[in-house]
Structures are given as C-alpha cells and as structure tokens.
Amino acid sequence: MSVKRYMISGGGTGGHIYPAIAIAEELKERNPNAEFLFVGAKDKMEMTKIPEAGFKIEGLWISGIQRKLTLSNLMFPFKLLSSMVKARTLIKKFKPNVVIGTGGFASGPLLKIASILNIPTLIQEQNAYAGITNKWLAKDAHSICVAYEGMEKFFPKEKLVLTGNPIRKDLLEVRSKKEFGLKHFQLDPKKKTLLIVGGSLGSQRINELIAEKLSFFEDQNLQVLWQCGKLYYDRYKSLETKSIKILKFISKMDLAYAVADVIISRAGAGAVSELSLVGKPVIFIPSPNVAEDHQTKNAKSIEDKEAAVMLKESELNEKFESIFSDLITDAELQENLSKNILKLAKPMATKAIVDEVERIENEVR
C-alpha cells in the first residue's frame, strides 16, 4: 500500500496554525504511516510552532499587502512569484495526495500551484468573514469547510461543507486537568484564577487594561494567568508577583483553560470555538482592527445566546470594573454562561474536516 502524503499550510497567527495542526493530528491518527509537510511564511510564528508540534515545515518568502504604500508592497509581486516557484518545487518533490489550506499568506501560492497541477485542495475557513487568501483560492478548491452558515456570499455554494472549526485534541477534555494545571503554573488552589488571552500575538489594548487593573483583581482575591504576547512581555514582566503570572505565550492551553475560573479573551474564530468547548465564563473583548469587524460579530452572536459577556474596547474605561465584579461575584451567572456556551461547541469538527479530506482524496484517485 502506498504511503499517503499531505501538505498543509496555515499561518501568521495561532488562529490559522492550530487548526492546521489539529487536522494533521487527526489524519495521522487515521493513517499512522502518513507523511506530512507544512508550508509557512518565513519569519512567521508557524516556523517555530509547527516543529514544536512534531511536523516538518518549509518557509516561503511571502507576506501580505499593507494598506499604505510601503517597500513591502512594492516587493509583493516578486515575493508571490518566488513563493509560487518554490511551492511548485516542493509539491513536485513531495507528491501530496491532498493539499490543505487553513488561511494565511503562505497557503495562497501553495494551493494555487496544487490546483494548477490537478492535485485535490481543501480550504478551511475559520471566520464568518472570509480571508482574502481563501477567497482567491475558492474557485479552484475541491472543498471548502466552514464554521458559519451563510458563507455562500464568499464561496461557491456547491463546495461548502459546514463543519465547525478544528480543535486540538488536548482541549477536548480539560476539566480533569485542573490539579495538574495548578501545579504546572504554580498557582494557589485556594484562589480563583483569571485567565487572559489576547490572541497568540497578544493585544496592546487588553494588556494595557490588565496592567491597569492588577490591584483591582488582587482586591477581588484573584490570581491572574496572563498571556501578554512576546511583543509585550518585556514591557510587563516586571509586574509579575506570586499571584500574577505573566507569560509570552502559553503552549499548554489545555492546562490554562483547566485552571481558569473566568476568562478574558479576544473573539477570533479559533478562540470562540475553543472557549465554546471549554465551557468557562468568558468576557470577550473583540478587536476592532479586523476585516469587517468580524470579531465583534463573533462575540455578539455568543452574547445574544446568553453564553458570554461582550465588552467593546470603547467601553472598557467606563464599564469594565462593574461588569467584571458582577460576573465574579455571581455564581449563578457564571454557571449559566458556562452551560450556554457549551451548547455551541462542535467537538467533532476536526473529524468532519478530515472526512472531507478523505472524500476528495478518494474521489480524485
């Protein structure tokens, strides 16, 4: 029997990287002898996160287009051409059965060349508002797996499969890991824990908020587990105390979710999917600096189902302390939010996406 080979590309942020890893892990579980090659953008976080997950990765010289005239924009055509040439070389050498893209700049050249070479391609779009790369690739893709209804406004309707977003296996059951998580992060089991995650790269506004409210949290007898992002770590690391743990990046997110009693988070598609599965009380602070304000739409859809609290950045100065105090002191509200957000979880999303990978693989064989 011939060995199955899969090429996967997704990067720039954890929202593209971790779905790609989840898909690869499910494929590997079904086909232990399968071979994998990831393709990312040079100097982006996938070049370290993918090897940490145990997979090989190659980098392309590619980046996005800036909103203003920059040297990077002038270089874009050359980068795209270079990346497509390298993608073709990689595909010809690796000979994949299927090529999978989860968004990010590098997936564009890779999937475009795969389509030209008549290799089956699958797109996984996490957001309610489709990314520019996935929209560019949609016409030639064999299948497009989405997490939201109504995506036919971006993609050919006949190619859409509603699956939800892929979730890493270690997040499928976190509640039993609380004791281990408390030891891992050296937290006090007698105190409630507030977890702050501003996205994989960190959030300037959320970091500013947390730094300003640390004494407020201590007055509430809370301990804080704060992922501030590597760009901000040097600015905030001096604020760390016994009850304030500050990290550049949390690699063991299953343990972080396990210890959390309340979570403050951005509202990217990946975060929403993970937090629905985790089932803890959440305050979403959506980023206003994203296409079509899709994080606000994500968070509002959860809040409308009484499954989370949403606070806009513009409301933080006026409302944060009162809303947070109401939440942390109201056990019934916490329980209701947890119960309602759990109803929105799609724990079988990764399996559904891999089923679709296998379907198009067999169909084209």
**Numbered residues of the known binding site for UDP-N-acetyl-alpha-D-glucosamine:** 13-15, 127, 168, 200, 250, 295
DSSP result, 241-290: BTTEEEES--S-HHHHHHH-SEEEE---HHHHHHHHHHT--EEE---SSS
Contact 309, 303 (CB under 8 A): yes
Feature table: binding site: 13-15, 127, 168, 200, 250, 295
C-alpha separations of 304 from 31, 46, 236, 328, 342 in Å: 41, 34, 34, 20, 14
**Tokens, residue 44:** 């982006």
Q: Which of 24, 14, 15, 19 is nearest to 45 (CA)?
A: 14
| Backbone dihedral angles phi then psi of residue 88, each to the nearest 5 degrees | -65, -40
**Start-to-end Cα distance in the chain:** 14
**Tokens, residue 133:** 């790369």
Distance between CA 145 and CA 217 in Å, rounded? Answer: 41
CA 164 to chain centre: 13
Taking 3-state DSSP, the helix, strand and coil percentages for the chain, each rounded to the nearest 5, stand at 50, 15, 35
Buried b vs exposed e over 253-277: b needs ≥16 C-beta within 10 Å?
Answer: bbbbbbbbbbbbbbbbbbbbbbbbb
Strand partners for 101? 9, 123
| Backbone dihedral angles phi then psi of residue 283, each to the nearest 5 degrees | -110, 115
